[in-house]
Structures are given as structure tokens and as C-alpha cells.
A and B are shown apart, each in its own frame.
Chain A
Amino acid sequence: MKKPLLITYIFLLICSIVSAQDFPYGTVNQQEMDMKSYSKDTSAHAVVLQEYGKTRIGLVTDENIRVIFEYHVKIKIFNNKGFDYGTVQIPIYHSNDDADTYESLEEITGVTYFKDDNGTTQKVELEKQNIFPVNETKHWANYKFAMPGIRNGCIIEYKYRLISPYFETLHPWVFQALIPKVYSEYEVHIPAYWRYNVSLKGNLKLTKNTAAVERGCFSINSGIASADCSSLVYGISDIPAFVSEDYITSSKNYLSAINFEESDFTSPYSRAKIKITKDWKDVDYILKNDLYFGDQLKKKGLFKDRIVPLVTGKSDDLSKAQAIYSWIQQLFKWNGQNGIVTSYSISKVLETHKGSAADINLSLVTALNAAGLNASAVLLSTRDNGTVSSLYPVINDFNYIIARVDIGDKNYLLDATDPLLPFGMLPFRCLNDKGRVFSLDKPSYWMDINPPQKQKSTHTLDLTLQEDGKLKGTLVNYFFGYDAYKKREAIKKFNTIDEYTEDLNSQFSRIKILKSEITNMDSLDKPLEEKYELEINILEKINGERLSFNPFFWYKIDTNPFKLVERSYPVDLGMTYDERFIITINLPSQYIVETPPQIFAIAMPDNGGKFMTNYEPGGNSFTFSHVIQFAKPVYNSNEYPYLKELYNKIIQSEKVEMVFKKK
């Protein structure tokens, strides 16, 4: 999905005059006021008429160099479903204590234009006292305001300036939104002291893309150091609204946007050149020496004594690793935050027993290494954070750390944030494309994140038809991989297993659980096993001495989760799926099977998935089984129709009922 746009290096450039410019503030034309709908998307509740952003690096006071981002937008609102675009929140990284290392927001102005009853255009200004700065948390503030005078057909316009001391990434520009845009443009001025990697995401093509040199645009110390700037302009016109689909990982992967990541920097004062993220070698160096990353990995000493009791007596590396993993898993509580660097030193994590994914999993890596195992940290991006760029290092694409341990020729990916995860299984949020493996002594490298575990279960019913028309017998369920995880999670919602079974019993009034047994609840590496003795009252008496019965009753699929005719984006399930049912029914001697179930097999191309049934009649009994498999974690949009049709066929065949009749 990601394309290289251009890797910008200054000084190499064509000298042309860049024609970018902000549109004038405070004016609307009659045509904009008269618009009743947007002709290119008549269903839009609102449309961005013009959107302009500009980032430059410059002096805000005599000696303070800052990144200055200006934003300006004009939105036409057609009806009340578009009113939300008139309620604005601008988040900034902020603290009351230390203004120098935080962002600030200034010059928020806004105006709403509307037609009065005579059809004359009127305007109403956003008033200062109606802008609310809110310190959301210690480091985040939000500027909030509602545009005044909003009504159907109005146009709102606002702008602001954000001053930031952060040069690592320039303000990203997201061209696409949930409403269409007539035109969106971003202008960036970068003095020669800085270099950035630029990447474009999404499917839309730039309709404007110019680069030029701007002579002597930057100087400090009254001209002692000065530089030219590269002046870059990116624009797209007629941007369609983004329409999301179910089962996608993150809309971030598909929204057209442009990102800037600093690659290197030469100090205008000292002329010293500082590499930021030119290539992975530099990133490796930086991370290894980072106080909150590499330095933490070096703290093996913290764990030396603590892990002695865990590994003593264990001869193989796997059981040592397992012991350390489960110790960390039980010891630390995840605070729900992600992160690629620790929040504080891991000695503090050990003290407070809580932390982010980075805190917990870097502790895990260090503890594993302390035991002499070969462990490394893997940086990745969670599903909702989008995929990572592989063209060049974009550190800001990552938001999570897991641990990897290599034992013999096998490697295991570990995440200790969740005490219910077995050794070697990642939580669903981490199943996203690929990760970058870091260790203190080797260069970093990519690895694919393909979970070895499935979402798998088998269900075996052995039932006997009673005189009273009820079925009595046993059900044995085995849950593997992600199914076992989900089941354990569901059971843990209850205070005791008895309360869980009581609840289960209360859910079905046609099924009575007479006895139950759950095993391997805490043996996370083993499949979870449930055994039930049941009495089921579902047979339907039909005319004469006949009984009808749906052999899929235990888990019948009757609606297709896939409704769209076609899709634009892949269906990303994250993992493969395998479910098997085997049902054996013993009939009293006076009964015979009048209508047996259908034998059926359908498969997707390339073994992508299948549905199969099998029927084996016996003397006074029969066995019916079926399998549903989705063999790929991700289906691309051209495989989608097959996936949808597989479900359709499953539903079709599960409608069909069996009939028993008296001889």
C-alpha cells in the first residue's frame, strides 16, 4: 500500500518558483454559498472546499528554532449530519511547567458564513472566550471550540498555528477524510540543515507535486549561519470520502496521507552533523544507547538473583524461558499502554509491578538474557496503528514491543502483558504484518509475524434419543490456540468455574447441563477441555410418527458476516480458523433415519478455506461430522467473493434438516 514518493535531499533541486499559497481568509463566493450539495458526491453531509497547511522550520524568538505548522480550512456543511465538523478539538503535547519542551497553539480564528432570511450572506466570528483550552492529562491539552452560527448550508472557516519543539517528525498531512475534499494542499519549507524522509500512503495520486529551492530563507545569529530551504508542495484535488469496511486492520493503512521523518540534521550553531534515521544501522546505534531502550536491556544484573530460583534444576533452555515468561506474566500488570521505549527504568517497573508493553516486555527480554538465553526485542505496530514502512526506518510507525527468544533452531514470540497467553502466543492486537528484531550485539532485521497458533476447536457430541423425544449424552469440547485463549478469558469473567457453568446452564432453556468438567484452565500450553453431560430438548415432532432434527443445532450459522458485493480492502482476520463438529446419535430400535443429512464439500481456490460434511450410518446409530476452515489470516479483495460464497454455502446447507421416523 505504501509507495515511495520521493526521498528529498536539498541542493539537488530544480529551481522553479513554487506557486503554493494559502487561500485568503475571510472570503466566500456566492457559488459556495449557493451550493445545495457536492456534485461529485451528492450524498456528502459536508465537503471541505479548501484545506491548506504549511510547515516551516524557523525562529520564533531570537534564538528559538521551532517547527511552525499552520492550518487553514473551509468546510461547507449541507445538513445537520455534517454539524459535527463544526465542533473542533486540537490536541497538543503540553505542560504547564516547561513551555520550552512542549507545543503551543496560537492565533485560533474562525468564522461562519450563512445566508439570512433575505438570502444575504452574513458572518459570525468565533469568539475568544468560546475557545476552551483543557489540560486533559499531565502532557496532553486539547483546544476545544464549537463554531458559532452553524446551520444547514453554512460554511465554516478556521485556522490556527501550532509551534512545536519536535523536529523528528513534521506534522503529517492526511489528505483523505470521512467527507470529500475539493482541494487539499500541504506546503513544507525545510532549511538545508535538516533532512527528512517523505512517504506517501494510500491510493490517491498527487495532483500537485513541486519542489524548489528558496534562497537564504533561514538564518540565525543575525546571519552568521544561514541556509537555503527546499520548498515542497503537495496537493490533491477531488478527494473522495473514505469509506471504511468491516474486518480491516486500520484505516490508517488506506487513508491517503504524507509523512515526514527526520533523517539527519546539521547544527546551524556547531555545524556538527547528527544522523537521525538515515538507515537501520543508525537506528540500531541510537536505540542501543537510548536510556529507555538499550540501557534497559543492559540491566541484566537486576534479574540475576531473581531468576535463580526459577531456572534452578531446569536443564533445557525452553523450560527456563517458559519459567521466566510466566514469572514476568504473573508479576507485572499491564497498564494498557503500548510504547517502544520504557516509561521509566525497569528497576522501577520491578518495584511497582506495573507498566506499559515496553516496560514489561523489555524487562522480559532482559530477564531472559540474564538467564543466558538468546533473547531480543521486536518492535512492531499494533493492528489499529497500521502497518510499518519497510522502505527506510520510520521509528514513529512502531508502537509496541514484544520479546523474541531463539532456542535451538526455533524462535518464539512472547508478550507478557496478558497472564492468559500461553508461551509463544501473541495477543490479537500484535498480529500485524512484520516486526523489527533488535538485540544489543547484532544488527537489526525484519521478521514476519505469522502466528503459529490457529483459532481452532473440536466439538464431539455423543447422544442417545430417549423415549420422551429428548437427546441425552455427552459433549466434549477442545479449544486450541486463540480459541482456548478466548474461552479462558470468558471463564475468567466469572469468580469461579461453578459460576461460569451456572451461567452457561442459564443461557439455554432447551439444554440442561447435568454435569460439567473443565480441565487445563491454568495449563496455558495445553488445549482447554470441557466435558458436559447434557439433556437436549430440540427435536421437533412433525406429522405422523416423525421427528425432525437439525444436525447443526449446536452452532448453526444463519447469517453471512460478509454483506458487501465487493470490497476495496483486504479481509484481515489475523489468524487461521479451524472448527470441527462430530455428532453421534444412537436411535432407539423402533426408529430409522428417513432423511439423512447431505454430504457436502466446497473449497476456496488455493486451499483458502473449506466446508465439508460427512455422514456415516451405523446399525441403530449414525455419525455426522463437519469441518469449517479458513486457511488464510488475510484474504485480499479479489478472494473476497469466494469467502462470501463459502459462507453462503455453509448457510444453505445448514438449513437442511434430518428426519427420523418410527419403523
Chain B
Amino acid sequence: MKSILIAFSLIISYTIAIAQQNYDASLIPKELLPYASAVLRDEEQNIVVEDFDNILVHFKTVVTILNKNGDHMAHINLEHDKSTIIKYVKGAIYNQFGKQTGKFSEGDFEDASAWDGFSLFTDIRIKHYFPSVTEYPYTIVYEYELHLKQSLALPQWEPVLNFGIAVEKSSFTLSCKRNFNVRYRETNIPEKVSMMSDSRNSKIYTWSISNLKAVKDEPFSPYDKNYLPNVEIVPEKFSYYGFEGSFANWKELGKWMNDKLIVNRQELPAETVEHIKELTNDISDPKLKAKKIYEFMQAKTHYVSIQVGIGGIQPFLAADVNKQNYGDCKALVNYTQALLKAINIDSYYCVVESGRKYKVSLLKDFASIEQGDHIILCLPFKNDTTWADCTSQTIPFGYLGSFTDDRNVLACTPDGGKLMHTPKYTHKDNLESRKANFIINEAGELSGIMTTTFKGTDYEDRDELINEPVKEQYKMLQKIYPINNLDILNLEVKQDKSFDPVTTENIKLHARDYASLTDGKYYFMLNPVNRKTDVPKQVFNRLNDVYINRGYTKEDEVTFTVPANYHLDKTPLNDIIDKPFAKFTSTMELKGNQLIYKRKLQLIDGTYSKDTYQDFVDFFQEVVDADSYTVVLVKNN
């Protein structure tokens, strides 16, 4: 064992010696400079597996920072916790000519508690350091070694972490005993793995990549992991905070999670079980029973994230949640499962990658613990699979919304894990539909009533507003609706929390100076409340496909009663656009003193070829133009 290690370390030190050539910034290939604020000159990540609970990660990088925008690449942040020990870290700074101007070591780092943005407590800490260099370009060279005491989640290789970073050379190796089996997944890697075994019963996997140009942020791009290079490695057997296990697929991983992390944590006090039974006694439909339980859980608990214990993957005991009334997603799902179990309703603890910007699915053919970040609940009723997120006090039962919809999740069941797919809300489901009856009087004042319904993922659109004080609600609406001098005279917002939830908003409003009267002509905006003002920016030489994450339908029908005896000065708006990715109609008609405006905008989710993009921009430009149409009324002679 020792001798293998020596052999590996010889290899490592050899490569480092080679790399230590010349950090002169002018040696960076010219073709790597466009759109780059920093260039990774040479990066190496070497993982040496000594045993399941004894892994060394050696990382060394050389980065040239070209300007201030690349400074973040010189920020070093090393997370550590009970299972990740920093063995050492050190580095040096070089000026643009490659001359060393300073160096740093672990003593220069500060240690702070890591905050993930939402947890009350986690036991992860961060050692961080940022060298202060004001002359660009400069080069930072640093290396560190981590000692990992677990093998459930190994570091991944993502040579391109950010937009605006070019890569001259980056490599990744894993060294392990021949009997240490791993599965790996290569994405967007031009050169496949090279594998080398030596006589001493060991093997080395190596990946490397070179001369990657900086990536620009292109709007409406697919999820970045789908087009950037990355490699993920998963050991077949693992050790994790004293747990041992193995998995080759989702079935086995789900089985392990169910058996080791969940199943023995669902004990409830007898009186709670009793109470639950009583509560649901009169209900016969299991789905309605489950709804009752869910609402009980919602009213009783709230979300507080505290990550302690085994790396934050095991839920609190259901009995603790029962007592404390709080927990994170794991704890609340586990608790809800326990309550359901008390009345013999089966449910699954499901791992999902959450997020509104992208719908990221667990990969069908590659199981790993790192692919999910949130837990939801699945109730496998016959022909009526029902889903619930247990972290919100207000979300309707059976509704996932835009946070976890339409993606593959891992359901942990006693029979093992299985991939399931959460419900999709189509562009027709996500409906915002509005009807308004407005009067514009001689003085240019606007008044009237407006009713809007929100369905599908749009159901959530008024969550912020609901239950706020009336004054605050009025202030929020003044920001939502672009009518100047908007006075809300009356507001009603209702949420129907049935299995197809709907939010309905009724507003009675008034606004002075909606129309300007100049030289006997009235000028006013045709689209009073739902104007699109942003056109996606153009992308010259686009590389990525056009990805629309979520479709929607917006329908507006506004009737304006305008002062009598006026006619339109301009050609009435009559726009109809039909594209594969979107549809738009916007029409107006003046009948007597009734001006009827109808608008419908549909965006259809999906992935479209990159050549579609200019069409996409032009489409929205036309929508913006139509939405900014100013009505001009002239008095009849």
C-alpha cells in the first residue's frame, strides 16, 4: 500500500515540476483571450483513494487574472467539516511577466461559518483567502490537499466553472486499487478517459482538456451542465459517517436511503397516532385522508433548516418534529410519511433537484447522491399519483408548482429506489387570464374593474401579496401594474386550494391622467397592465440551443369606454404572429365609444435550434412594439 502511494506521489510531483515553467501572461494563446476575464493556465485535481474512508484530494491550479472581472477566480474558498479535513494550502502570486511577487500559506486564511443562504445552522465551515493585487494581469498559483473520510460523494471535475473563463489546460485523475470499482459519467468531454494500471494492483483514470475558449452568457441557454464539460465519479462501495453501503443504480441507492436513513426514524408518540386516526376517522377516500394529514402537518410545522449529524442527509426523527414543530425538507417529509403510515397510507420519500430556472432531472442511467438537493413526498394512489412539498404552510395539497415540477426524482421505497417523473404544467396550464372594463373620461381619468385568474404555476403569482396588510397589498400592486397614479379602491384575492388550484384577483381601480389631452387629441397606452418591455438581447454567433424552461399563456381582454365622438388617428393595431415557440395576437377595435383590446401571448416550452434565436428576439421585439402602442383619439368633425 505504502509503495503505491509513493509511486503516485512521484507522478504528481513530476507533473508539478513540469508545470512550474513560466507564468508570463503573454504566453497565453491569443485565441483564448476573447470574452475572458481570467484564464486557467494549468489545473490538476488528483484523487487518491487509499480506502473507503481515507481519500486524498490534491488540487493545484495556475490562474491568470486579466482584469478586475476575473478577480473572483483568485478567491480561494475551501469548505471543510467533520469528513473533509484540509491538510495544507499554500500559494504564490506572480506579476504579468511571471515574476513572483508574493506568497501565502494557511496562516493567511480566515475561517468562517459557511452559510448556504437559507439554513439556520450547518456544521460546514469555510477557510478563505483573497490576495490583493491591483496590477493586471497577474497570476495566482495555489495548491491544497484535502483528506476525505467518506466516499459517498467524491469531488467532481468541472473545468469551466464560470462564464468568461478560458481554459488552457486542466486535468483530473483518480487513483485507486484495482478492486475499487467506480462508475463515471463523462459529459462534453472531447477525449474520453485514459486508464492505466500498474503491476502493483492499482489503476489510474485520467481526463484532460485543453484550449477551451471563454463561454459567454447566452440568454435562454440550456442548463449549463448539459453543455459544459464535466466528469462525475461514483464508487461502487462507500463509507459515510460510519455507514457502509454500495450501489450501482438508483434502485440500490434508494434502497440504502430508505433502509438506513429513513425507515427507523418514523416512530411517533402514541397520542399523536391516536389524534391522527381520530382526525381522519370520518373520511373514507384515502386521498382526502392524506389531504387532511397534510393540512394538519402544514398548520403544525414550519420550515427551519438545521444541518447537523451525518453530512445533512438524514432527517430528524419524526418524534422530534412532532415536538419542535419545525424541520427542513427531509424532516418534514419524513414526519408526514410517519403520520400517513399511522393511518396506513403508503408514501415515498423523494429526492429531487429543485429550482425554478431549470427543470433538472436525475439522470436515468447514472445514480449518485449529489444529483438532488430537496425532498418531496409522493403518494402512489392507484392511477392517481399525488405529490406534495412539505416545506410550505400555504401550498395546496397535491401541488408542486414551479420549484419541483416536470423532472425525474428518486422515490425511496422499501423495494428500492425508482425514478419517477413529477407532473408537468404545460403552456396551456400556466394561464394568466384577465378581463377589464375601464372608463376613460373627458379628463383622462381611468377607472373600472379588473379580474385576473392565475392557474398552473401562475397560481403562485400572488403568494407574496396574500395575507399582507391591505396598505402593503396596494403598494405591491402599484409596483406590479404600470399604471401611473394608480389608486386601488377595492381588492379581493382568493386562492382556491383544490386539486387544480386557482388564484383570483378582483380589483377596482382609479388613475388620474391616464390619457393625456393635447390639442384636442387623447393619447394613452392601449395595454394598461400587461406590457412586455424587455426584448431578449441579441446574440451574435450563438453557440447554444434556445431553451424555454416553462411555457405560459397570457390572455387580456380590456374594454375601454372612451369619450364620445372621437375616432382613431392611427391604423388600429392588428398583430398576429405564429411561431413554433410562441404565438401572439393583439387586436383593437373602436365601436362607437367602446374600444375593445384583445391580447394573447403564448410561449411554448422546449428546446429549439440555435438558429431560431434571432426569430425569437424579433418575436419579442414585435410584442414589445405592440404593447407600447399609443392610442391617439381625434374628435369627429
Contact = CB atoms under 8 A, between A and B. Distances in A.
Contacts of B394: 80
A149 interface: yes
Interface string A132-148: 10111110001011101
Contact of A354 (B132, B299, B471, B525): B132
A87 B121 CA distance: 11
B275 A559 contact: no
Nearest to B298: A80
A510 B620 CA distance: 12
A83 interface: yes
B524 A542 contact: no
Contact of B540 (A330, A502, A543): A502
A655 B630 contact: yes
A506 B540 contact: yes
Given A43-B469, A564-B475, A559 B324 contact: no
Contacts of A540: 570
Given A83-B302, A146-B304, A332-B134, A656 B326 contact: no
A503 interface: yes
Interface of A: 43-45, 79-81, 83, 87, 89, 117, 124, 130, 132, 134-138, 142, 144-146, 148-152, 330-333, 335, 352-354, 419, 492-495, 499, 502-503, 505-510, 540-543, 548, 550, 558-560, 563-564, 595, 598, 648, 651-653, 655-657
B323 A651 contact: no
A367 to B, nearest CB: 16
A532 B254 CA distance: 61
B118 to A, nearest CB: 11
Instruction: List 4 A-B pairs, minimum CB-CB distance, nearest first.
Output: A43-B469, A354-B132, A542-B570, A80-B393
Given A510-B621, A542-B569, A598-B518, 15 more contacts: A43-B470, A83-B302, A137-B111, A138-B111, A149-B325, A150-B326, A330-B135, A331-B134, A353-B132, A495-B69, A507-B538, A543-B571, A548-B570, A563-B475, A648-B485
A95 to B, nearest CB: 12
5 contacts: A136-B112, A146-B324, A419-B134, A502-B540, A508-B535
B325 A495 contact: no
B112 A137 contact: yes
B630 A657 contact: yes
A353 B133 contact: yes
Contacts of A507: 535, 537-538
Contacts of A505: 538
A563 B302 contact: no
Contacts of B486: 563
B478 interface: yes
Nearest to B632: A657
Contacts of B323: 124, 148-149
Contact of B302 (A45, A80, A542, A656): A80
B623 to A, nearest CB: 12
B133 A333 contact: yes
B393 A352 contact: no
B35 interface: yes
Given A506-B540, A656-B523, A559 B482 contact: yes
A286 to B, nearest CB: 30
Interface string B38-68: 0000000000000000000000000000111
B288 interface: no
B546 to A, nearest CB: 15
Contacts of B299: 151-152
Contacts of A136: 112-113
B143 interface: no
A4 B568 CA distance: 64
A340 B108 CA distance: 24
B467 interface: yes
B570 A543 contact: yes
B35 A148 contact: no
Given A87-B120, A506-B537, A652 B516 contact: yes
Interface in B482-520: 482, 484-486, 513, 516, 518-519
A648 B306 contact: no
A149 B69 CA distance: 47
Nearest to A332: B134
B200 interface: no
B260 interface: no
B621 A499 contact: no
Nearest to A509: B621
A129 to B, nearest CB: 10
B370 to A, nearest CB: 25
B275 A117 contact: yes
B513 A648 contact: yes
Contacts of B66: 495
Contacts of A137: 110-113
Contacts of B611: none
Nearest to A116: B275
A134 B120 CA distance: 10
Contacts of B516: 652-653, 655-656
B467 A79 contact: yes
B485 A656 contact: no
Interface of B: 35-37, 66-69, 110-113, 120-121, 132-135, 164, 275, 299-300, 302, 304, 306, 323-326, 393-394, 467-472, 475, 478-479, 482, 484-486, 513, 516, 518-519, 523-525, 535, 537-540, 569-571, 617-618, 621, 630, 632
A598 B518 CA distance: 8
A151 B302 CA distance: 8
Contact of B538 (A132, A135, A506, A550): A506
Contact of B537 (A45, A134, A503): A503
Contacts of B485: 560, 648
A655 B484 contact: no
Contacts of A548: 570, 632
Given A136-B113, A495-B164, A648 B484 contact: yes
Contacts of A335: 132
A132 B121 contact: yes
Contacts of B275: 117
A651 B484 contact: yes
A651 B630 CA distance: 13
A150 B325 contact: yes
Contacts of B475: 563-564
Contacts of A542: 569-571
B527 to A, nearest CB: 11
Nearest to A132: B121
A151 B618 contact: no
B65 to A, nearest CB: 11
Contacts of A492: 67-69
Contacts of B325: 148-151
A530 to B, nearest CB: 19
A118 B302 CA distance: 22
A437 B62 CA distance: 46
A493 to B, nearest CB: 7
Contacts of B302: 80, 83, 150
Contact of B134 (A124, A150, A151, A353): A353
Contacts of B36: 495
Contacts of A79: 467
A506 B134 CA distance: 31
Contacts of A494: 69
A352 B326 contact: no
Nearest to A553: B628
B338 to A, nearest CB: 18
B120 A563 contact: no
Contacts of A87: 120, 304
Given A146-B304, A146-B306, A146-B326, A657 B618 contact: no
A151 B121 contact: no
B484 A560 contact: yes
A132 B617 contact: no
Contacts of A652: 513, 516
Contacts of A656: 516, 518, 523
A655 to B, nearest CB: 5
B35 A495 contact: yes
